[in-house]
Chains A and B, each alone.
Chain A
């Protein structure tokens, strides 16, 4: 099993969710996060004083998938989230040792 994590432009979340559902993904977790990469931050102006805001709002999405599906899911996210401009985000996946479904106690791939 693998945990696929993606940090994305917030307005792309809907497209990514649709693409993942089409790829057969059953569930996901999202959170609003702040960060920066090569895009860096932006400038805000209050009463003429300019402030550099280093962190920009992003969405972090996490999906647990079977090993066999991981590459396809990563590809689906990348395709759906891409705008071609700076700040599109990143997607990565890491191995997962164990997963338990809380309601039934099922473990491993059964619990996905």
Chain B
């Protein structure tokens, strides 16, 4: 997010180029959620793929409702440093300028663009709790979480009125709000619902890596809207963000592939996709503040660090099924801290203090660390409480029998694949 000094009552002047760009970006970011659904869907076992797709797609529906009613106003309405106010409740006054921003697009478009971020952050959590949670309680969790966890964090970091923005924290497209948030929240819910039956003794390999690779490609494509769109203008800063984003994805893919080839003897498709996503995660907070080559280096670092981070769950014993912590939390932390080293006003005049390696000292690094700690601990604690509360009212975990049968049949009365030529289904009843 481009930090701008607070000018609450500036008139909105619409620029058609910016508006066209942000309209396209809104659609691009929406596409990331189906992309994520397939990225995750390929990684689960064949008996749970529909349930995983469903948990992702349903976030589009649920968060859209909570966002227009409450989430948007709590994130971007005029309030204090901790929380927005209620002026935009139910999209009231939605043509008024958004406090703190000098938008050149209709404020309603800004609302829709931000909605897509809230949706995918919720959907990301589903990866940490794959294969064992009922749909109804998941929807309840997401509905509450999007208001009490996501909206405040979005206010802190994205709204110029939020305390992080005031402190001088840099977070261009959501290293804290999206990546650290989904990772810490995912870990909290995974601890509440417990491990999958048989984990980690039993191997639970991905059932369709082609789906995962397709999903990773869609994510990468959509990420251009996510990051370059966060410039909120169709300008040079957006171009810098797009180039930095691409290079970080490339760097992550290359370093993950090289390291696993060296360590295990094989470069894997899942590794290539995971490395690209790790690089894209790390560049999310930083794409609007880094020069292209430091972005490539950050991507390479992210691929290497996340490859080791995804092994931690086996040592520590938490079942973060699809590595939301290892990739998104760790990648988000890396990207935010890296800004403390390499942010430069040569890319973005909003950088008031250069990074450590650009002669700015530790001023920025310290603030980035505060953002990491605050976002991580708030998201973890608040999500833990929300998940516990939901679990008390609506038990989240499926029965052992249903978990063994697979969520597709048990919850949705469907099977993803019927590849045999023998007719195994009965007649229409």
A45: contacting residue among B264, B308, B314, B323, CB under 8 A: B264
CA of A51 to CA of B206, assembled, Å: 12
**Which chain B residues lie closer than 8 Å to A45 at the CB level?**
260, 264, 266, 268
B271: contacting residue among A47, A50, A52, CB under 8 A: A47
Complex A-B, nearest 7 residue pairs according to Cβ-Cβ distance, in ascending order:
A51-B203, A45-B264, A47-B310, A46-B205, A48-B311, A46-B270, A45-B266
* CB-based contact A48/B206 at 8 Å: no
Complex interface bits, B180-211 against A, C-beta within 8 A gives 1, otherwise 0: 00000000000000000000000101100000
Task: Give A46 Cβ to nearest chain B Cβ, in Å.
Answer: 6
Task: Give B200 Cβ to nearest chain A Cβ, in Å.
Answer: 8
* CB-based contact B266/A47 at 8 Å: no
Interface positions of B from 41 to 77, Cβ below 8 Å from A: none
**Which chain B residues lie closer than 8 Å to A46 at the CB level?**
205-206, 268, 270
Interface positions of B from 248 to 283, Cβ below 8 Å from A: 260, 263-264, 266, 268, 270-271, 274
Residue B112 at the A interface, CB < 8 A?
no
* CB-based contact B264/A48 at 8 Å: yes
Residue B307 at the A interface, CB < 8 A?
yes
| Closest Cβ neighbor of A51 among chain B residues | B203
Complex interface bits, B306-341 against A, C-beta within 8 A gives 1, otherwise 0: 011011001000000001000000000000000000
* CB-based contact A47/B274 at 8 Å: yes
* CB-based contact A49/B311 at 8 Å: yes
* CB-based contact A47/B323 at 8 Å: yes
Residue A97 at the B interface, CB < 8 A?
no
| Closest Cβ neighbor of A43 among chain B residues | B264
Interface contacts (Cβ under 8 Å), in number, total 32
**Which chain A residues lie closer than 8 Å to B206 at the CB level?**
46
A48: contacting residue among B203, B205, B260, CB under 8 A: B260
CA of A47 to CA of B42, assembled, Å: 14
Known: A49-B314, A50-B264. A44 touches B307 (CB 8 A): no
A-B contact pairs, 20 of them (CB 8 A): A44-B205, A45-B266, A45-B268, A46-B205, A46-B206, A46-B270, A47-B270, A47-B271, A47-B323, A48-B260, A48-B263, A48-B264, A48-B271, A48-B308, A48-B311, A49-B311, A49-B314, A50-B264, A52-B203, A53-B203
- Highest count of chain B CB atoms <10 Å: which of A45, A47, A49, A53: A47
CA of A69 to CA of B266, assembled, Å: 47
* CB-based contact B307/A48 at 8 Å: yes
Complex interface bits, A25-61 against B, C-beta within 8 A gives 1, otherwise 0: 0000000000000000000111111111100000000
**Which chain B residues lie closer than 8 Å to A49 at the CB level?**
310-311, 314
Mostly, the A contact residues are: strand
Known: A45-B268, A46-B268. A51 touches B310 (CB 8 A): no
Task: Give A25 Cβ to nearest chain B Cβ, in Å.
Answer: 24
Task: Give A108 Cβ to nearest chain B Cβ, in Å.
Answer: 29
- Highest count of chain A CB atoms <10 Å: which of B206, B264, B274: B264
CA of A45 to CA of B260, assembled, Å: 9
CA of A93 to CA of B266, assembled, Å: 41
Task: Give A56 Cβ to nearest chain B Cβ, in Å.
Answer: 15
CA of A45 to CA of B272, assembled, Å: 13
**Which chain B residues lie closer than 8 Å to A44 at the CB level?**
203, 205
**Which chain B residues lie closer than 8 Å to A47 at the CB level?**
270-271, 274, 307, 310, 323
Q: Told that A46-B205, A46-B270 touch, could you supply 18 new A-B pairs with CB distance under 8 A?
A: A44-B203, A44-B205, A45-B268, A46-B268, A47-B271, A47-B310, A47-B323, A48-B260, A48-B264, A48-B271, A48-B307, A48-B308, A48-B310, A48-B311, A49-B311, A49-B314, A50-B264, A51-B203
**Which chain A residues lie closer than 8 Å to B274 at the CB level?**
47
CA of A51 to CA of B198, assembled, Å: 14
CA of A97 to CA of B319, assembled, Å: 54
Complex interface bits, B296-309 against A, C-beta within 8 A gives 1, otherwise 0: 00000000000110
**Which chain B residues lie closer than 8 Å to A53 at the CB level?**
203
| Closest Cβ neighbor of A53 among chain B residues | B203
**Which chain A residues lie closer than 8 Å to B323 at the CB level?**
47
Interface positions of A from 75 to 104, Cβ below 8 Å from B: none
| Closest Cβ neighbor of B266 among chain A residues | A45
**Which chain A residues lie closer than 8 Å to B264 at the CB level?**
45, 48, 50
**Which chain B residues lie closer than 8 Å to A48 at the CB level?**
260, 263-264, 271, 307-308, 310-311
Task: Give A30 Cβ to nearest chain B Cβ, in Å.
Answer: 14
**Which chain A residues lie closer than 8 Å to B314 at the CB level?**
49
